[in-house]
Amino acid sequence: MPFETLIEPPKAKLNPALKLTLELGPIVLYFAVYRLYGLLPATATMMVTVLVTLGVSWTMLRRLPVMPLVTAAIVLVFGGAALITGDKTFAKVKLTVLYATFSAALFYGLVFGKPILKVVFDEALHLNEAGWRSLTWRWALFFAALAVANELVWRNVEEATWVNFKTFGIMPLTLLFAMAQTPLITRTMIEEAQDGDAF
């Protein structure tokens, strides 16, 4: 099967409850294992759960979603490096690399006229081109900000505080940011964007 067919959005969708479980489950398990056993066991747990998440997606949908696939690759590489070397820095910088990768990919798409966000969300969102450009710019900047924030936090606070930030800070910030895009999405779904509207 060609690789492209593995990452194209399928018509089938996960049950919302299952989708929420797959998104939040790894985070909850990561935090629970960290509190009981520490960062490296929590990192190993995250590595297992991302593989389970991909397995469930493949079993249910017969495809590998783009963002979870990239996330799993980075988690496995940096998590594996942390476990092999015993250096927790790899586990902490993993988020920086992840969000920087997302940001760079979105900027790359914008530069070459191929908004990658449209590929990821086209199944659920139907925006005009100006809307996709605007949304892509915003998410690219947001992911860049998260990468910078992760660097600032893990380098300047205790490990437990960083774990709390990772577990209870990034997800709410992401949800709030996503909700803040509702006016843009609504506007560009129901009417043609005007010239110069795109940011």
pLDDT for 8-66, tens place per residue?
444 566 677 777 777 788 899 999 999 999 999 999 999 999 999 999 888 887 777 78
pLDDT higher than 80, residue 135: yes
Instruction: Return the domain boundaries, the chain.
Output: 3-190
Q: How confident is the model at residue 3 (pLDDT cuts 50, 70, 90)?
A: very low
Q: Is 27 exposed, middle or buried (0-12, 13-18, 19+ CB in 10 A)?
A: middle
**What's the CA gap between 143 and 147, in Å, rounded?**
6
Q: Return the SS3 of 14.
A: coil
Interaxial angle between packed helices 39-61 and 88-111, expressed in degrees from 0 to 180 and rounded to the nearest 10:
40
